[in-house]
Structure 1
Amino acid sequence: MYYTKIDKEKCIACGLCQLYAPTLYEYDQNGIAYTVKDDNKGLVPVEEKEINDFRKAYTSCPTGAILRSTTPFESEENNSK
């Protein structure tokens, strides 16, 4: 099981993540990618039916902006405490 989110500082808006995994990634008004299902928090697991698309996007990202984890990412609220 994987969790994913985008490191927005690394994203160059190349479009590959949305091309390969459109159910996982979308772009904000500035053209920067984010995860659709949890608004880029990395708390919702990638569904089994999306794993192949996720892997293609993850390995294709030229800047390494797509992050993955086997556990949910820490929320920003928890990191600020």
Structure 2
Amino acid sequence: MHYTKIDRESCIACGLCQLIAPNLYVYDENGIAYTVKDNNAGTTPISEGDFEVFKKAYTNCPTGAILRSNSPFE
């Protein structure tokens, strides 16, 4: 299992993660990204269907704000 969330302090609101993986990431009213499925808690596993787009977003994030873990974030 893989989990993701956004380090919101590192996010620069570039829009890349939502363009690549709109099922995983959205933006708040200030343009800062968060994970949509669990309100950025990092406790909902990434589905197999979303894993490839997750990897693309993760590797292309210019600030490293997309976090990943093999277990739920605490």
| Cα separation, 2, equivalents of 1:57 and 1:31 | 17
Counterparts of 1:63-74 in structure 2, within 5 Å, are 63-74=63-74
Structure 1 segments unaligned to the other structure (5+ residues): 75-81
Offset of 1:42 from its aligned partner? 0.1
Aligned to 1:62: 62
TM-score normalized with structure 2 length: 0.99
Give 4+ residue runs of structure 1 displaced > 3 Å after superposition: none
Structure having the higher Rg: 1
Q: How many pairs are equivalent? A: 74
Instruction: Provide, for residues 34-73 of structure 1, a one-character-per-residue CA deviation record: whole Å limited to 9, x for no partner.
Output: 0000000000000000000000000000000000000000
The code of the aligned residue for 2:64 comes to: G
The two structures, once aligned, show a CA RMSD in angstroms of 0.4
Of all paired residues, the percent bearing the same amino acid is 70
The code of the aligned residue for 2:39 comes to: D
Instruction: Provide, for residues 10-56 of structure 1, a one-character-per-residue CA deviation record: whole Å limited to 9, x for no partner.
Output: 00000110011000000000000000000000000000000000000
Offset of 1:5 from its aligned partner? 0.2
Structure 2 segments unaligned to the other structure (5+ residues): none
The code of the aligned residue for 1:4 comes to: T
| Cα separation, 1, equivalents of 2:11 and 2:73 | 18
